[in-house]
Amino acid sequence: MANDKLCFVIGAGASAHFGYPLGSELVEAMDKFLSLIRQAKGTYSSDDFIAAQNFLKEMKSYNPLNVDFYLKSHPKQQNIGKKLIEAVILYSQHCDVFKKSNYQWKWWKSGLIGSGDSIKSGAYNDRPSQYDNDNDFFPAWNWVKFIHHSIVANCEDADAVKNALKNIFVVTFNYDLSFEQALWGYFKTSKFADDIKFQEYLFSTFFKENIEHVYGHVVRRDANKEPITENYECEEFDSYMRHAYKIFECANGEKLNIIGADKSEKLNVKAKGFLEQAKHVYFLGYAFDTFNNQTIGLEKIFSNRLCPRNICYTNLGDGLICDSTVRSFLVEHGYTISPLNADNRIMLALSRTKNKKIVISKSTKNVYEALERDLNIPLTKKEPSMKTKEATEQLQHEIANA
């Protein structure tokens, strides 16, 4: 079992695999969500619904860079804005993002709805073929399976899995609970599903103490608008949640923080602590936004030469811009950029270089393909054989005497 602590930093690019909108797509998703309600309910009207329509109209005329920037500069509209954000995310979750039968990739772009404003099974037939999956429970691009596999690969029992989880931390900038839902989805179908103590540890300890949603997360509610205790189930909502207007009525966004406003202006000490103690850091779908970096104290952490870290990151989307930002940021703070899949002899030599920190690899693929092809996750491992140990010691001796 590997004892090195590992931290995943998750951005919007990672949740996009499950059909949730990116920040740049949120206005479009809001517009489509409200139109679904109007189409289904016709004369449906409430104070909040009218306020939401006015909010969206004003924001679109303002044409902001993103929704968070607009809400930061319009504090009086934050409550209705957060309610609408939560409703859109819950509706995205309700589109059965974890089930093939109703899986709709980017539902707000499909232009297709079913009976009323319910989701029509298989409505979006133009989704990319890679999202088809023989497994009815998960979309094909569920990247969490690579993390799950690394956790359980060499664990014989639930106690071993718990010990592996103790070394894993997650910092997410996303409002959705896709990581928790997907991870629990794999565990509940495994041999550990019937272990009550393991379930208690997963829900009461790992999900609550080892995962930090920097800007809060959505909360599901029942028909009486009371919070549902368990947010991590991937199962379908109750029948009343089949309609967009019901989700809108139950959402309030009280657990969400606006980027650049309220509590998000303060340093997130918990997230900073996760990163400070991690030897391996994986940035997945994260764009290294300056404000987000400051919120988790990234610059101060990377300036610490006493804690060398191995870093992996994905760089899809604004490739050259993001790559330039990331590389200059890391080099400025003393990191040595090593080639992807570098020879072990080179890597070992670099790791012994005084006061140097290493970036293991960068992938220009999306999060799923990066974890599948480029970025190895060193969570659990079998004890090396005596022959392997001898070969490693010999290599270390050669480098020391070089």
pLDDT for the residue numbered 125: 33
E strand segments, 241-327: 280-284, 310-314
Q: Indicate left, alpha or beta for 338 from its phi (over 0: left) and psi (-120 to 50: alpha).
A: beta
- CA angle, 236 then 211 then 163, to 5°: 100
Give the strand pairing for 168-172 and 6-10: parallel
pLDDT for the residue numbered 355: 52
Give the number of C-alpha atoms closer than 13 A to the C-alpha of residue 51, restricted to the C-beta side: 14
Locate 166 and state its tokens. 């103790």
* DSSP, residue by residue, 43-107: S---HHHHHHHHHHHHHHHH--SSHHHHHHH-GGGHHHHHHHHHHHHHHHHHTTTT-TTT--TTH
* DSSP, residue by residue, 183-194: HHHHHHTSTTTT
pLDDT for the residue numbered 174: 93
Cβ(48)–Cβ(80) below 8 Å: yes
DSSP 3-state of 393: helix
Amino acid at 177: L
Q: Of 348, 379, 368, 383, whose CA–CA distance to 6 is shortest?
A: 379
Q: Give 262's DSSP letter.
A: G
pLDDT for the residue numbered 173: 93
- CA angle, 8 then 233 then 33, to 5°: 90
End-to-end CA distance of the chain: 31
| Rg (the chain; Cα; Å) | 22
Cβ(135)–Cβ(98) below 8 Å: no
Residue 290 CA to residue 32 CA, distance in Å, equals 30
Number of CB atoms found within 10 A of residue 52's CB: 22
pLDDT for the residue numbered 134: 37
Residue 239 CA to residue 103 CA, distance in Å, equals 17
Cβ(357)–Cβ(335) below 8 Å: yes
Locate 278 and state its tokens. 């991690």
**Model confidence pLDDT, tens digit, residues 119-163:** 333 333 333 333 333 343 445 678 999 999 989 888 888 999 999
Angle between helices 78-94 and 47-62 (to 10 degrees): 100
Locate 157 and state its tokens. 């029992």
Residue 135 CA to residue 133 CA, distance in Å, equals 5
| Whole-model pTM over 0.75 | yes
- CA angle, 200 then 205 then 211, to 5°: 130
Q: In the chain, which stretches have pLDDT less than 50?
A: 1, 96-105, 111-138, 234-241, 264, 383-385
pLDDT for the residue numbered 86: 93
DSSP 3-state of 314: strand
Residue 395 CA to residue 372 CA, distance in Å, equals 28
Q: Of 68, 74, 31, 36, whose CA–CA distance to 53 is shortest?
A: 31
